[in-house]
Amino acid sequence: MSGYRLLPFRFLRFDERRTLVVNEVGEPHFLSHEDFARFVEHQLPMDGDAYLDLKAKQFLFDSRSLAPFELLVAKYRTRKSFLEGFTSLHIFVVTLRCEHSCAYCQVSRVSADRPRYDMSEGTATAALDLVFRSPAPHLKIEIQGGEPLLHFDRIQQIVLEGRRRATAEGREVTFVVATNLALIDDAMLHFFREHNVFLSTSLDGPQALHDGNRPRPGNDSYARTIGGIDRARAILGFDGVAALMTTTRLSLQSPEAIVDEYVERGFSSLFLRPLSPYGFARRSARTTGYTMREFLDFYVRALDHILMRNANGAWLVETYAQMLLTRILTPFPIGYVDLQSPAGAGIGAVVYNFDGDVYASDESRMLAEMGDRHFRLGNVHHDSYTSIFGGETLRALVAGSVAESVPGCSDCAFLPWCGSDPVHHYAMSGDVVPHVPTSEFHEKNFFIIKHLLSLLERDAITRRTLWSWVRNEPSRRAEVA
């Protein structure tokens, strides 16, 4: 064979000087516009640097050897290895009751005195039967609400029964309780310690912001959350509790203060999350909502401040950036359902509602609370494992979330790092397949991915910090400072 042949790749005119090329397994490379034109016209000199770099990264091949294909196949298999385990995350909604009344609540919670919205013992047992039918080697059971501590008996049952079954089958299971911590007490914490249960809580920022976002009787959400975090750390250990924030219109003014709150409280990660178009969040969109452009401005300011705090010795990871950078810089999957293709709804994570209904994702359950049961997969009492996980609803959801077949995504340079969120697309436009030019999901991911690629070139300290996030260990610079 003379000359060279091209292997599959996607490309983007990245800036005035350079074209970004990304191969089929997500490895990026920058070329000058001139070299890119020579590359696709088969005119690159075979002894030049550009040629040798592109050959080493399997953008082209020039012999009869099958080695480049075998390498691409091995890397592609690694990238898609999240498909091997099937559903590993099982979310139990043990009650819809909550004593908070957050305007942005995505759960459509009911007030704390209506126990008919509690999961029964029989429903929890039937849901556990399905959990342990999953072939995933490592199971994760997340217990949430509403506020799950309002139904602590059910938490105990799920943890004790789940642990017993896992031990009997020789399987690993991790438990997480997502709680606002307002009602936590020492007896609960000792139970969690005894059974190795992790906690995840909500912390939206400094006191005024947190209490503004998260009203409850007594207006003391922040004090209770901080008190709960301190007690949980004392009993479970410092890493026994993690925190998440939700961005509201109020948050947009204070990205630096939110970051500082997380650093001062000793957290090692901060996930800058926009509002979801579900539940109370949708109903209160006028007061709590904002455009994606406003969120992205907030995101950039917050990320800059996080990088500055890291450069000065703190260790705080922005979770979304960490996941995307892992996708960009390594071949390994990250297990985040919205950043994979096909999406993980139903095949990576599944939700058991208080009444036994099974949903493909938390978002699809929220849609159902709003009256749209499009993504209900079945019920733990009436449907079999096969009909729930092999039925038409889930098959259609998976088929619609293969980004490689979505118009606009299929030829996007960022596709190997991006994903799909079919339930979000459906909630926004009535179709699981997005209309990319008007999709907020696209607007967010395209902007943040491009911003992260630019940050990787900003300076040595920034690059070292971002790489330390991918390795998940503090950079030497941060330790020394």
Contact positions vs ligand SF4 (CB under 6 A): 403, 408-409, 412, 414-415, 418, 436, 441-442, 445-446
Residue 384 Cβ vs ligand SF4, minimum distance, rounded to whole Å: 35
Tokens of 433: 């397949």
**DSSP for residue 270:** E
The phi and psi torsions of 227 (rounded to 5 degrees) equal -60, -40
Rounded Cα gap, residues 203 and 258, in angstroms? 9
Residue 72 Cβ vs ligand SF4, minimum distance, rounded to whole Å: 19
Residue 9 Cβ vs ligand SF4, minimum distance, rounded to whole Å: 15
Residue 293 Cβ vs ligand SF4, minimum distance, rounded to whole Å: 15
Give burial (CB, 10 Å; 0-12/13-18/19+) of 387.
middle
What residues form DSSP beta bridges with 97?
A: 110
Residue 98 Cβ vs ligand SF4, minimum distance, rounded to whole Å: 33
Residue 322 Cβ vs ligand SF4, minimum distance, rounded to whole Å: 18
- 259 vs 412, which CB is nearer to ligand SF4? 412
- 349 vs 415, which CB is nearer to ligand SF4? 415
Residue 441 Cβ vs ligand SF4, minimum distance, rounded to whole Å: 6
- 12 vs 93, which CB is nearer to ligand SF4? 12
Burial 119-135 (b: 16+ CB within 10 A, else e): beeebbebbbebbbebe
Closest C-alpha to 264, from 215, 213, 205 = 205
- 181 vs 329, which CB is nearer to ligand SF4? 329
For the CA atoms of 183, 184, 186, 189, what is the dihedral angle to 10 degrees?
160
- 267 vs 414, which CB is nearer to ligand SF4? 414
- The SS3 of residue 243 is strand
- 221 vs 445, which CB is nearer to ligand SF4? 445
Residue 6 Cβ vs ligand SF4, minimum distance, rounded to whole Å: 21
Helix axis angle for 186-194 and 221-236, nearest 10°, is 40
> Are 156 and 73 within 8 A, CB to CB?
no
How many distinct helices (H) and strands (E) make up the chain?
A: 20, 18
- 35 vs 421, which CB is nearer to ligand SF4? 421
Rounded Cα gap, residues 478 and 481, in angstroms? 5
- 397 vs 403, which CB is nearer to ligand SF4? 403
Integer angstrom CA distances of residue 32 from 13, 15, 50:
10, 10, 9
- 200 vs 405, which CB is nearer to ligand SF4? 405
For residue 110, what is the enclosing H or E element? Answer: strand 110-111
Is the bond preceding 170 in cis, omega lying within 30 degrees of 0? no
Residue 419 Cβ vs ligand SF4, minimum distance, rounded to whole Å: 7
Tokens of 456: 């990787």
Residue 405 Cβ vs ligand SF4, minimum distance, rounded to whole Å: 11
Tokens of 437: 């030019």
- 22 vs 258, which CB is nearer to ligand SF4? 22
Rounded Cα gap, residues 87 and 89, in angstroms? 6
- 109 vs 442, which CB is nearer to ligand SF4? 442
> Are 284 and 453 within 8 A, CB to CB?
no
Closest C-alpha to 128, from 97, 154, 100, 96 = 154
Residue 2 Cβ vs ligand SF4, minimum distance, rounded to whole Å: 36
> Are 342 and 311 within 8 A, CB to CB?
no
